[in-house]
Homo-oligomer: A and B are copies of this chain.
C-alpha cells in the first residue's frame, strides 16, 4: 500500500471505531499535526464537528457537552503545548466523573526529544489524571495494526464510561505527509466495535443490612449530592417516603424541582437552618446515607462532621467520597440498583413519621422566612440570584459558577414553581473554564443560562468566541463585585495586611467591550428594577446575551449575614 492509503486507513479506523462505540461529538482545535484526523472527523456524516481555537476553552466545551449528555465527547488537538492546555479540563473531568476521549496528535518517534519544533514528550502527558493513556503505533500496513486500533478505541470508550466515568487519552503519532485520500466517502458500515457498560450490583449483605436499618426505629438522614446515575432520583424519593427519611438535596442532585419536592421528603434550605447551632441537637440522626458527590453547603459539612461516631454509609460506585472521614461503611455499588433491590422487598416500613415531620416543618418555615426577610433587605447579590431564579422559564438549564454563585444558588434555589436543571463544575471547584463548560452543555439544550462571578468570567473570556462561532443561545449573568467575593467571607478579610492586593483582586473589570467584540447583547444593571427590565429582554432574544450585575463586595457579606441572623432570630422568637 502507498503511504496515503496507509494513512487514510489508519485515521479512518480510529474515527470509525470511536463512532461505532458511540461517539457523536468531537471538538477540534485547528493545528497542523492533527490534519488527517481532523479531515476524517469533518468527513464523517454522523459525527458532529465543533471548532474551538483556544484548547483550554475547547476542552471545557467538550466537558460541558459530556456532562450534559453523560456520554463521551472527543477532543482533538495538534502536538506540543496545545495538548497541555487540556489539562485543567481533563482533571475536572476525572474528579467530576465526566467521560472524555482526548486525542492528541504527536510527532512520530524520530522527532521526539531531539529538539524538533512543536514536539514535547506527550506519553502519559496527563499523568494520574486520566483513567487510561496509550501511545498508538505509527500508521503502517500490517493488518493487525488495524485490528489493534479498532479494539483500542473500543477499549478507550468503555474505560471512559465505566464507573467512575472519566477521561482517557490516545496519543497519535503521525508522520508527514499529512494529507489522507479525499473525499473519504464514508459508507454506513455495519457495527463492529459496540461498547456497553454494566453497573455494580449490590451484595446480599448490603441489601439485608440496609433494610434492617431502614425498618428500625433509628432516625435516618439521606444526603444527596450530584448523581452519576440520574435514574437514582426516583428511587431516592420512593425510599425516603416509604421510610421517612429527610433528603438533604444538594442543588446539583436535581431533586430541587417541583415534582420531586411534591413528594414531601426533599429538604432544600438546610444551608440556612444548619447555621443555627442551638437547634442542631434536635436534628441529630442515628444514621446517615450519603449518595453522590460532596454537597456544596459548608454548614451541612460541619453538621455531619459534628455527628460523632454514628453509622455513616457512603454509597459510591467509584472511589467513595468522604472528606470529613465519617464513613463507617463504604459501599461500592450503583445507587440505583441498591435502592431498586431494597424497594423490591416487602417491608412494614418504620415509625419515624415525626422525625421527617420535624425536618419538613423547619424547611418550610426557613424557606418562607428567607423569601420574606430577603424582600426587605437592600440590593445585594443574593437578591439578584433570587430574581434570576424566579424569572427562568421552565426546563431551563442553569449552569452555575464556583465560589459565590453556587453558594448563592444553594441558599436560594427552593420553592420555585418551574423545573430547572442545575449544573456546575464541582469535580475540582475551579473558577476556570466555566463559560466554555456552560456553552458545551448549552449545545445540547434549548433554554440556557449561566450564573458566574466576575473573576471566573474573566478567566474564560475566550470561551465567548465559541458562543459566536457555534451560534449558541445563552444568557450569562455576571455577578460583578470587582474581585474575589468569596475571600470576603474568609478569615483573611479581617487582616489589615495586603488583603486587597492578594485576595480582593480588584481588577476593575467590566465586560461591555468584550461582549461587543463577540457581537453579543450586553446590559449592565445596578439595582432590582434594572435587573427585572434586563430579564424581560434576555428571555425573549436568541444568541449570546450578557447581563452584568454590579454589586458591592463588602455589602454582600454584611447583608448575607444579616439575612441568616434575622431568619434565625425569628425562628427562635416563634418557639
Is A528 at the interface (CB under 8 A from chain B)? no
- Per-residue interface assignment for chain A, residues 108 to 145, with 1 indicating a CB less than 8 Å from any chain B CB and 0 otherwise: 00110111111111001101110000000000000000
Contacts of A95 in B (CB 8 A): 120
- Interface residue from B30, B32, B117, B513 paired with A517 (Cβ < 8 Å): B513
- Interface residue from B115, B129, B491, B497 paired with A321 (Cβ < 8 Å): B115
Closest residue of chain B to A455 (Cβ to Cβ) is B53
Is A12 at the interface (CB under 8 A from chain B)? no
B507 touches A517 (CB 8 A): no
B53 touches A458 (CB 8 A): yes
Is A183 at the interface (CB under 8 A from chain B)? yes
B30 touches A505 (CB 8 A): yes
Closest residue of chain B to A34 (Cβ to Cβ) is B502
Q: CA A125 – CA B88 in complex, angstroms? A: 11
B319 touches A113 (CB 8 A): yes
A42 touches B502 (CB 8 A): yes
Contacts of A325 in B (CB 8 A): 110, 114
Q: CA A497 – CA B119 in complex, angstroms? A: 27
User: Would you give the shortest CB distance from A510 to chain B, in whole angstroms?
Assistant: 8
Q: CA A469 – CA B504 in complex, angstroms? A: 13
Q: Give the one of A81, A82, A120, A127 with max B CB within 10 A.
A: A81
Q: CA A486 – CA B56 in complex, angstroms? A: 21
Contacts of A177 in B (CB 8 A): 491
Contacts of A502 in B (CB 8 A): 28, 30, 35, 38-39, 42, 51
User: Would you give the shortest CB distance from A58 to chain B, in whole angstroms?
Assistant: 11
Is A490 at the interface (CB under 8 A from chain B)? yes
- Interface residue from B121, B179, B505 paired with A51 (Cβ < 8 Å): B505
Is A410 at the interface (CB under 8 A from chain B)? no
Q: CA A151 – CA B365 in complex, angstroms? A: 59
A487 touches B32 (CB 8 A): yes
Q: CA A321 – CA B501 in complex, angstroms? A: 43
User: Would you give the shortest CB distance from A556 to chain B, in whole angstroms?
Assistant: 17
User: Would you give the shortest CB distance from A402 to chain B, in whole angstroms?
Assistant: 8
User: Would you give the shortest CB distance from A475 to chain B, in whole angstroms?
Assistant: 20
Q: Which residues of A contact B (CB under 8 A)?
A: 28, 30, 32, 35, 38-39, 42-43, 49, 51, 53-56, 80-82, 84-85, 87-88, 90-92, 94-95, 110-111, 113-121, 124-125, 127-129, 177-179, 182-183, 293-294, 319-323, 325, 426, 428-430, 432-433, 455, 458-459, 461-462, 465, 468-469, 484, 486-487, 490-492, 495, 497-498, 501-503, 505, 507, 509-514, 516-517
Contacts of A90 in B (CB 8 A): 84
User: Would you give the shortest CB distance from A157 to chain B, in whole angstroms?
Assistant: 24
Q: CA A49 – CA B503 in complex, angstroms? A: 13
Q: CA A303 – CA B428 in complex, angstroms? A: 50
Q: CA A505 – CA B32 in complex, angstroms? A: 12
User: Would you give the shortest CB distance from A76 to chain B, in whole angstroms?
Assistant: 10
- Interface residue from B117, B323, B462, B505 paired with A458 (Cβ < 8 Å): B462
Contacts of A55 in B (CB 8 A): 432
User: Would you give the shortest CB distance from A57 to chain B, in whole angstroms?
Assistant: 10
Q: CA A81 – CA B429 in complex, angstroms? A: 8
User: Would you give the shortest CB distance from A158 to chain B, in whole angstroms?
Assistant: 23
A429 touches B183 (CB 8 A): no
Contacts of A432 in B (CB 8 A): 54-55, 81-82, 85
User: Would you give the shortest CB distance from A249 to chain B, in whole angstroms?
Assistant: 18
Q: Which 10 A-B pairs have the closest CB atoms?
A: A115-B321, A116-B323, A513-B517, A81-B430, A81-B88, A84-B87, A513-B513, A42-B498, A84-B88, A87-B87
Contacts of A486 in B (CB 8 A): 32
B323 touches A120 (CB 8 A): no
A81 touches B91 (CB 8 A): yes
- Interface residue from B53, B430, B484 paired with A80 (Cβ < 8 Å): B430
Q: CA A90 – CA B116 in complex, angstroms? A: 18
User: Would you give the shortest CB distance from A165 to chain B, in whole angstroms?
Assistant: 15
B30 touches A115 (CB 8 A): no
Contacts of A505 in B (CB 8 A): 30, 51, 53
Contacts of A111 in B (CB 8 A): 323
A294 touches B507 (CB 8 A): no
B491 touches A428 (CB 8 A): no
Contacts of A514 in B (CB 8 A): 513-514, 517
Contacts of A320 in B (CB 8 A): 115
A507 touches B465 (CB 8 A): yes
Given A128-B121, A459-B462, A514-B514, residue A501 in contact with residue B294 (CB < 8 A) = no
8 residue pairs from A and B, CB less than 8 Å apart: A43-B497, A54-B432, A56-B85, A80-B429, A82-B430, A121-B129, A179-B492, A509-B517
B507 touches A53 (CB 8 A): yes
User: Would you give the shortest CB distance from A55 to chain B, in whole angstroms?
Assistant: 8
B30 touches A487 (CB 8 A): yes
Closest residue of chain B to A79 (Cβ to Cβ) is B428
A497 touches B116 (CB 8 A): no
